[in-house]
Structures are given as C-alpha cells and as structure tokens.
C-alpha cells in the first residue's frame, strides 16, 4: 500500500544521541509501512535514525505516539522520543502509546515524563515460560542472573563489574533474539557506582547499540531498586550519550527527566523512498 501523501515533513530530534525522525500525522494521515520505516531510518540511503516516531490523533490522550525501530518493528514505548515529542509540542501532554499512556512536561532543555508503573510478572515481560523475573536462572556466556522489567516495552538487565568490558555488539543480538523472549527484548548491561549512580549501555531490540535508551534507564533503575542496590529516589543514569535522572519507588510511576534536542525540520518526496 503506498503512503497517502507524497510530500512528508519531518523533525529530526534526539535525546542524548538516541535519534529520531518524527512525522506529525495528526492533521493528515501517513500510511507508515515497515518498508518505508527501514528506508527512512537507513543512515546511508535514507534520513537516518534509531527510531521513526509518528504522531497521530487519539481519543483517550492529547495525541498518540507510534514507535518504529530501524528494522521496521513497531514497539510499545520510547522514553527519549517521548521527551523529544513533549519538547516539540511545547506543552504538558498525555501521550498514548501501545505500551500505555504517559505524561510529559517540557522544560527549557528537555522534559520530565511519568512513564507509568513497571511490570514484573513473567507473562507481562513477556517470557516464554514462568520464572522469577527478579533473579532469572539463565546466562549467556559472562552475562548471568539477569532481572527483567516491562516499562511499556520489555527489558532484561545484567548487573556487571564493568560495562565497557562486555562485548555487547556480539552478545546483544544473541540475547535479544533468544526464544526465552517471544517479543524479543532490549538488553541492558549496568554497573552501580559507589556514589549510587548507574552506568548503562544498551543493545536495543530492533535497532542495536544506541547512545542512550530512556526506557532502558527506567527499567535498569527499577531493577536496581528491586535488587536493593540503590534507593531509587533520584538516580543518575550515565549513558554513552549523557545522563538521565530517574526516580522510582514501589507502587509509583517511573519518572524520567532529561534533555531533548531539535536538530532540523525537513521535507522529503516519499516517492523517492519507495
Ligand atoms: N530508545 C528508546 C527505546 C526504544 C526501545 C525499542 N528498541 C524497543 O524495541 O522497545 C528509549 O529511549 O526508550
């Protein structure tokens, strides 16, 4: 099916280097296909991004945010993009995603989001079979004993001595595509530092290594609180692209504050991509 509009205006934005092409389809429909997503996300022959974000009208929120990974897969949540979209619209917003409705409040440099309550039951991650998601009895080479959290999208977190020593480019896809994860999974390797901050690297489902992952920072902070490694009241997460401030205590929503940058607004002729 060909998109309904030939010209497409888009906003190129990023959160700590996790970059997005944002299409505002609230006024006119754009039929986003996985083929078009892959073409637009391609860093050599397209515009280039980690995720393609499409804004659409919503009955139950200010607007809906659809999230497509660079491989074309549509997913439930994207924290860095939600901050960018909140900054783009310029006002407080309820944002409907397939992973739940989140709320965003813009500030001068980015936004604060309430990302909803995390889920932990094996079938809400989801896993292929029942397991204690707080101490999973599984391993992939030196990555052992992870914890799984769903923050709208699925994450598995490995606490390690030194994130830089993990060959995440090799191990990430092995874990991402393991049959234990029927919807695949985002793979986080984290170190809790002596000052209570967390150093984090992420292999993202459907995209690969990114400079930052907002939902990964949320899921990892929740995992560290559940493992009693941090208090969680105000945790700084250090990602390759910069820092995020995450807060969570059991029974609350996960709150994330961080930057959002608008790079440029452009227009393309869609027929050039198909
Ligand atoms: N970078 C995004 C996460 C995208 C997650 C996506 N890779 C998935 O398949 O869930 C973030 O900042 O939250």
Structure confidence at residue 1 as a pLDDT band (50, 70, 90): very low
Cα(237) to centroid(ligand 1), Å: 16
User: Given a cut of 60, is residue 257 above it in pLDDT?
Assistant: yes
User: How many CB atoms are closer than 10 A to CB 139?
Assistant: 11
What are the pLDDT digits (tens) for 130-144? 999 999 999 999 999
Q: Is the pLDDT of residue 270 over 90?
A: no
Considering all CA atoms of the chain, what is the largest pairwise distance in Å, rounded to the nearest integer? 54
Question: What are the start-end ranges of the H helices in 72-151?
Answer: 79-89
Distance 154 CA to ligand 1 centre (A): 9
Mean pLDDT, the chain, as a whole number? Answer: 96
**Residue nearest atom 2 of ligand 1, based on CA coordinates:** 78
Report the pLDDT value the prediction gives residue 6, as an integer from 0 to 100: 84
Q: What is the pLDDT of residues 154-208, one digit of tens each?
A: 999 999 999 999 999 999 999 999 999 999 999 999 999 999 999 999 999 999 9
Q: Is the peptide bond before 126 cis (omega within 30 degrees of 0)?
A: yes
Task: State pTM to two decimals.
Answer: 0.96
Q: Which of 11-20, 42-51, 164-173, 228-237 has the lowest mean pLDDT?
A: 228-237
Find all residues with CB under 8 Å of 144, minimum gap 6, and list them: 138, 158
- The ligand 1 atom nearest the CA atom of 81: 12
Q: Report pLDDT for 91.
A: 97
Interval 105-113 mean pLDDT: 98
Asked if 156 and 139 touch (Cβ cutoff 8 Å), the reply is: no
pLDDT higher than threshold 70 for residue 242: yes
Percent of the chain at pLDDT > 90 equals 93
Beta carbons within 8 Å of 55's beta carbon, 6+ residues apart:
22, 23, 24, 25, 26, 63, 64, 65, 66, 85
Atom 4 of ligand 1 has which residue's CA nearest to it? 78
Compute, in angstroms, the gap from residue 152 CA to the centroid of ligand 1. Answer: 10
Over range 33-38, report the average pLDDT.
Answer: 96
Distance CA 140, CA 17 (A): 28
d(CA 19, CA 48): 8
Residue 80 alpha carbon, nearest atom of ligand 1: 12
**Residue 268 near residue 47, CB atoms below 8 Å:** yes
206 alpha carbon – ligand 1 mean position (Å)? 9
Residue 64 has pLDDT above 70, yes or no: yes
Strand partners, 7: 269
Predicted confidence (pLDDT) at residue 266 exceeds the cutoff of 90? yes
Tracing tokens 């690969």 back to the chain, one arrives at 208
Distance 203 CA to ligand 1 centre (A): 9
Mutational pocket test of ligand 1: of 21, 49, 74, 77, the residue with most ligand atoms within 8 Å of the beta carbon: 77
Q: Which residues have CB under 8 Å from 270's CB, separation 6+? A: 3, 5, 6, 7, 8, 36
**pLDDT, average across residues 104-126:** 98
The pLDDT value given to residue 65: 98
Task: Write down the pLDDT at residue 171.
Answer: 98
Which of 52, 70, 75, 242 has most ligand 1 atoms within 8 Å of CB, for mutation? 75
Cβ distance 123 to 114 under 8 Å?
A: no
Q: Give the model confidence (pLDDT) of 90-99 as tens digits.
A: 999 999 999 9
The interface predicted TM-score of the complex, written ipTM, equals 0.91
Confidence of residue 129 (pLDDT cuts 50, 70, 90): very high
Q: Name every protein residue with a CB atom under 6 angstroms from any ligand 1 atom.
A: 18, 51, 69, 75, 78-80, 153, 186, 204-207, 210, 213-215
> Which sequence positions are flagged as catalytic?
78, 213
Smallest CA-to-CA distance from 188 within 227, 217, 150, 152 is with 217
| Ligand 1, atom 8, residue with closest C-alpha | 205
User: In ligand 1, which atom is closest to the CA atom of 73?
Assistant: 9
Q: Domains plus CATH for the chain? A: 7-115+260-273 (3.10.310.10), 122-252 (3.10.310.10)
Number of H helices, E strands in the chain: 4, 19
**pLDDT for position 274:** 76
The mean per-residue pLDDT over the stretch 55-81 comes to 98
Tell me what pLDDT residue 232 has.
67
Give the model's pLDDT for residue 248.
96
């Amino acid at each position: 099916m060909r998109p309904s509009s030939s010209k497409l205006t888009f906003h190129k934005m990023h959160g700590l280097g996790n970059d997005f092409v944002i299409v505002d389809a609230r006024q006119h429909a754009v039929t986003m296909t996985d083929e078009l997503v892959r073409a637009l996300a391609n860093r050599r022959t397209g515009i280039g991004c980690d995720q393609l974000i499409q804004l659409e009208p919503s009955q139950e929120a200010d607007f809906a945010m659809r999230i497509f990974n660079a491989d074309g897969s549509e997913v439930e949540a994207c924290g860095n993009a939600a901050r960018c979209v909140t900054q783009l619209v310029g006002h407080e917003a309820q944002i409907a995603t397939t992973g739940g409705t989140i709320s965003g409040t813009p500030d001068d440099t980015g936004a604060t989001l309430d990302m909803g309550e995390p889920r932990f039951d094996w079938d809400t991650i989801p896993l292929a079979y029942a397991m204690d998601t707080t101490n999973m009895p599984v391993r992939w080479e030196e990555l052992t004993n992870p914890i799984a959290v769903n923050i709208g999208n699925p994450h598995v977190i490995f606490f390690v001595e030194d994130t830089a020593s993990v060959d995440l480019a090799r191990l990430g896809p092995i874990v991402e595509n393991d049959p234990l994860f029927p919807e695949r999974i985002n793979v986080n390797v984290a170190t809790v530092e002596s000052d209570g901050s967390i150093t984090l690297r992420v292999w993202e489902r459907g995209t690969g290594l990114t400079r930052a992952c907002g939902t990964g920072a949320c899921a990892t902070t929740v995992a560290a609180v559940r493992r009693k490694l941090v208090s969680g009241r105000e945790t700084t997460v250090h990602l390759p692209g910069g820092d995020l401030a995450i807060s969570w205590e059991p029974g609350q929503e996960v709150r994330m504050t961080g930057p959002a940058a608008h790079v440029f607004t452009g227009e393309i002729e869609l027929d050039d991509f198909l």
